[in-house]
Amino acid sequence: MSQVMDHLTDVGPGWHRILLALHYDLLAVDPNYEVDQLKEKFGGLRVYLRYHHLACEKLIMEATRLSHETCEECGEPGETAGPGWIKTLCELHRIQRNADPAKRWENSG
């Protein structure tokens, strides 16, 4: 059985705070919730549960919304944009990424 805490390394460290909050929110709804898949896609957090649960889906939607405004690298306010592979990053990490052409097409998900 896997939960959000087992998937922290599947996304960047900047989102770990979002994942921690989501984990405890999900536990409050269903202590036995199970994650099927957790990843970054199109610059946002995606969490798929093994069993559909409306209250849990709402919590996940909120976490995804937050991820779109949080730098995946450092947790500072960020923006979802390209070039190349779409990522949500702060200004500093966007500049660093653009300085390294190889990283633009890096697929973290």
Binder of Zn ion out of 73, 87, 88, 97 (CB under 5 A) = 73
Binder of Zn ion out of 11, 18, 59, 90 (CB under 5 A) = 90
Part in contact with Zn ion (CB under 5 A); list of ranges 3-11, 15-23, 40-48, 93-101 = 93-101
Long-range CB pairs of 56-64 (<8 Å, 24+ gap) are 56/26, 56/29, 56/30, 59/22, 59/25, 59/26, 59/29, 60/22, 60/26, 63/18, 63/19, 63/21, 63/22
Tracing tokens 């633009």 back to the chain, one arrives at 104
Return phi, psi of residue 80, to 5°: -90, 115
Q: Which is nearer to Zn ion, 35 or 71 (CB)?
A: 71
| Min CB(97)–Zn ion separation in Å | 10
Binder of Zn ion out of 8, 21, 27, 74 (CB under 5 A) = 74
Under rule CB under 5 A, residue 97 binds Zn ion: no
Binder of Zn ion out of 23, 87, 93, 97 (CB under 5 A) = 93
* C-beta separation of 3 from 33 below 8 A: yes
Q: Which residues lie near Zn ion (CB under 5 A)?
A: 71, 73-74, 76, 90, 93
